[in-house]
Every structure is written in C-alpha cells, then in structure tokens.
Structure 1
Amino acid sequence: MNAPAGAAKPPAIKLKTRKPTGIVPWPLLLIEGEEGAGKTYSAAQFSSSDRIGQMYWIDLDEGSADEYAAIEGANYLIIEHDGTYRDILEQVEAVHAEARRAAAAGEPPVVLAIDSGSAFWRMLTNWTYERGRRTRKNRALLQEDPDAAYDIGRNLWNDALERWNRIIYLLRTLPGISIVLARGKQVSATDDNGQPIQNKSEWKVAAQKDLGFDSTCWVRMKRNADPQIIKVRSLRMRVEQKKPLTLRDFSIEDLVFNKLGCSVESQPRIMPALAGDLVQPWLTRIAELKDKEALGALWRSVPDPANRLSREEIATVRAAAEQRAAELDNPRSEMGEGPLTDADKLRAAAKRKAAEQDADAEQ
C-alpha cells in the first residue's frame, strides 16, 4: 500500500559496519583447581613480570594476599573493600577506569586478580538464601518449624545472577588482563533432582556455572599433575573435546604473551552490553539515588530525544523516579520496621504531588 501523497517518510535506517581488526584481545583467565595446587602463587608470581603494568588484587575471603607478596619480585596492590557487593563493584569499576587510562596512555596492561570467584559466588548465594528466608511466606513457615525446607523464588536467583554478570562484564571488557581464581575438585555426580549417582564422579568448579564459558582461557591445576587448559578461545591454541592440553613449566606470563599472543597492541573485547530495552539502566540508576533534587533532574531529563526512549519507556522511568522520591519522603522510622506497602507508596506519592501543586499555585 502506497503512502498518501505528501506524507512524511520515516527516516532510512543506516547500516553500521566495520572491518575486523584481527588483533588478539586481552583475556579473562579462569584458573581453578585443588587447594594447594598453586593457583594463588601463579597469580602473585605474574605480578613480577616486566611486561605488565600495575596489578590490583581483590582478596575475597581467602586471606592470602598479604602473605604472597613475599614471593620474589611480587608487585601488586591490594584493593581494600568492606565486603559488600556495592563496594566490590565500585572497586572493579575503578580498576576498569584506570585500565582504560593506562591503555590510552600506551602503558603496559593493568592486571586485575580476584581471589576468589568461588567466594564471590558464595556471597551472592548466601544473599539469595537470606532474602528467601525473609519472604512473608517463608517467615511464616520458619516460625512454625525453624528447620523446614523453604523455596527460593526464581526472581531472587535472577537478582544474584545479574550482580554476578555485572562483575563478569567488567572483567571481560577490561582494557588489560583479568584473572579469576576459583576452587575446583572431584565430587559425586548428581542427577537432575540433585541426588548423587552411585559410583560416578565429576569435576566441579565452585562458582557460577557459566564462568568457564565466559572466560577466554580456562586452566585447571592439581597438586600432583601439570596444569591443563580445559578450554581456550584462540586461533593460536586448540583444545580438542575431552582432551585437555597439558602445560609443562606453566606461568601466566608465558600463557598470555607467548601462547595466546597478546601484546601492547592488544585491546579489550569489543562487546557492547546486551539489553532487552533501554529502561533497566535507568531503573538501576534511580534505585541508587538518595537525593530528591537529583531525582527531579533525572525526571526532567528523561524525554530528551538523545535518550532514545519511547513514550511508554519514558512513562515507566518517570513512574520509578516518582516512587523512589516517595520512598525518600517516607523512610523506615524504626529498626526492624518492614518495607513500605504499595498503598503507603501511593499515598506518599499523592501527598507529594498535592504539595507540589500547592507550591505551583502559590507562585
């Protein structure tokens, strides 16, 4: 069907392309294995390399960062944090920014080591279970029987996975070298219901299940065997299915710069974060704001065409900003007081809107 004469035509969508660079990107290394196999030692030893810049070390419930600095030539800075997810995330973001600065200045690559990914995932798992205990249904169940088994909603696990993925995305796109240490061991195999399978075992990495997939190179270390590469994303190395590649005289420096082929010309993986819509980043930003003036400025800026939000998306973001403002107007007054109900939030929003209308009338 032809458009009516004189009707405006929608703007043509331009094709966006670029030529591939062929440059080897900086890696995210997963080094996992048995206790005492040398995972932490290998990372600390890597800090002595003259082919890297500053190494930053995030110690998560492992407690070995100070001791391993005694290794000859070790040179890394321990990142201090208060143990909360937000503080850890902010420190990883700060390292990401410093790595960008160093790369832009042509300096050797920044290195970030996290010891360990197992502790980080355990923290998020514990957070999910605690949230599950606090639901109204489970509180009532546990009040009757403190040892009762309770269900955890899929939404709570999705929240934990989102937090994990925010850190992993920063590591995968770091303009430098990311190293995640993790615990791994042989355990009894289980069926789809979580029940052990008799006389059958499997190797288990104590971390979120996609960590191996997200890593560039996955190294396994055992106490009585040479390290093995389980998986690698590289044109220079190949690991056949179920045939790990054994590494004799293993070092992270040799792996990164010789076997993977990284160099001063390497760059971070060009990998824009995927999003189902443009709303979620706004909602995350709103949830973190604690100043009503900042919320007001955000509310006014939402319709800007540069934000590329549809009319429905603008309404959603503005509603979230108004709800957040209502929460700031009605904070918890006593320790242990539960969160505001939807009715409370609506009443607070209506009260605030009436006050704004009164203020406008006076002007």
Structure 2
Amino acid sequence: MTSYKVLDVNDDLPIRTKGDVHSGKVRSVYWLTDADSKRLISEKGYKVPADTELAIMVISDRISAFDCIWQGENGLNGVPGKGIALNSVAAHWFKLFDEAGLAGNHIVDIPHPYVWIVRKASTVKVEAIARQYITGSMWRDYAKGVRDFCGINLPEGLTANQKLDKVLITPSTKGIITGVADIPPVDDVNITRSNITNNLSVFNFRAADDVAQYEKLLVEGFELISGELAKLGQIFVDTKFEFGYVEDINGAEQLIYIDEVGTPDSSRIWDEASYKDGKIVENSKEGFRQLLINNVPESDVLLNKDRMDEREQLAKDYILPESVMLEVSNTYVGIASKIVGKEIVIPADPRQEVIAILDADYGLIIK
C-alpha cells in the first residue's frame, strides 16, 4: 500500500445533515439541518439572510477525466494534495473577484483547506465556457472542417493552439435539458446564445438581462485571471465558470459565481515560455487527459461519447502507476503554490483533520 493518505472517499464523513449527501465526481455536499444553518449564521456572523440554507462542501483528491474516476496502484486512488490545490486556487480568485468589484460567490467560510461552507444557490443550467485559444475539442472539430461553434463562426486558416482575436463564449448545457427541439437531451452539449435567450426558464435564468450579465461576469473574471497568470509566466487558455442566484442580506436576488473558478481542473493553463518556443506544457488537468489518450489501448473510447459504457469499464480496469499520480500531484500543487504565492502543504491525514475541525469549531460531527 502507498504511504500517502489521500481523501479519495469524501461522502461518508460523520457530519449531521438534512437528507442524503450529494456526491459529485470530485466534491461531496452535506446539507446542514435548518437549526445548524441558523446557529452558524448567528455564531459566526455570516453576512447572509438568517434563513439561508448552508452546506459543508468537502473536496476529494479523486482524479476525474472524460467523465470517469481513475484509480492508482497500491490503493492510491487519488492525487496527493489535489483537493487543497483546487480549493486554494478557487478561493484566491474569488477573493480577487471581490476586491475587483465583480459578483460575489457561494462560499461563506473556509474551515479547512479541504472544506468550504457554502450557501444554497438556484443554479443556472449553463456551463459558462470562455476560450482565448483554439485547442482541445475545439481544434479537433475545426480540423475536421467545423466552423460554427455555439453560433460563432470562426475564420479559415487557424492553426492548432493559436490565440484567438478575442475571448469566445462557447456555452454548453449543465445537466440534461429536455423539451427544447434543437438541444439533444444529453449532458454537456454545446448550445448557442439564442438557445438560452429563447428558453430562459429552461436554463433557470430570471430575465434576458441576466444572460448578458453572466457573459459580462465570465469575460471579466477570465480577463482578471488571465492578467494575474501572465504575471507568473502562465497563459490562461480556456475555462469553465458556473453561476447561480442567491438572496443578499436585504432579500434582493443576485447572480453570483458558484462551484470553482480558474482551477487546474476547470481550466487549461500553459507555460508561456514554452508556448513561445513552440511547445505546449500543461499546468492543468489537460496534461493528465493527454497522458490517458496516449496510453490507453484505444483513445477513441475516451473521445467518443457513444462509447461511454466501454469508457466507464476502462476506467475501472485501468490502474495508473503511483509515479503518474505523484507527477499529477506535482503539477497541481506546483501551479497552485505559484498562484496563491505560498507553498501548498499537503496534510498528513486530511480526513481526520477535517473531522476534528468540524467537531471542535463548528459542532457538526455526530458522536
């Protein structure tokens, strides 16, 4: 067995909850009881309405790619430090967004580097994607002759990894959208701006102006992060944001950033010096994706959505060497340390640390 302790299972912590734990590919969400939410808002002085629903969001060290979770040898079923790296980076950008006067976010407290306390938001069903370079799936489609991307027409003659004239917004669905004729009922399908504006309620937008607002917040957030990464010799290539509605302290509804922003999981980040030298050095999960594409028996299983059953079986059977998991760890922890301006320290036992803090400082652990 490996000597590393990673938080690979994060949906079984003894936290007092209301209802079931929601476990995603990387994060698990524990909705607190109404009494605990109210108590913490009062005790901690959170600047939210007194009846706001709160949740404990615990990030894991699991590695997800191509909509599957991947396993390591010797029981190392996660990437050491990945969770703390993602949380630290997202919290750093959220802080800069606040300072720049952009929209707020869903985090009300950070008890531990693996844990956020978040407020409930009414989620917009759009994956808000911004791109400054043509690469990845967009380049693969372009190379096949596709020129229309989410209603945006790209010119002829672009080359792989080329910088685009402006930041492009290429949204996709968050979850399965039904009842709209030209949107297939599958998760993560590309959509146009008119798809959204013609079906506001389907995507959970309150008003047409809010579509323009999410686009403004997406581009402003993208440009802020891009500028900060440029100071570190890094290129912000593309990213995904998510948005939702909450009530402010006075009961007025507002659109905010939710989930995570600008992390190595939700974004591509390239080393600038290497790019200028004609090479792509990934400082994000894209490097792990490329490693899988280059090493699995048949890469089409990963790239073809019609082969999802085969892909899921492949992910269960394909065991990654510990050295690969540690290499991915170095990428995540390295870029996160650069971004936040201090070395990310990997906890010796993140699970026990989380339980201890949520017990002693928040009174949320079931005895």
- Length-normalised TM-score, structure 2: 0.23
Q: Which has the higher strand share?
A: 2
Determine which structure has greater relative contact order: mean sequence separation of CA pairs < 8 Å that are 6+ residues apart, divided by chain length. Answer: 2
More helix as a share of residues: 1
Question: Greater CA radius of gyration, 1 or 2?
Answer: 1
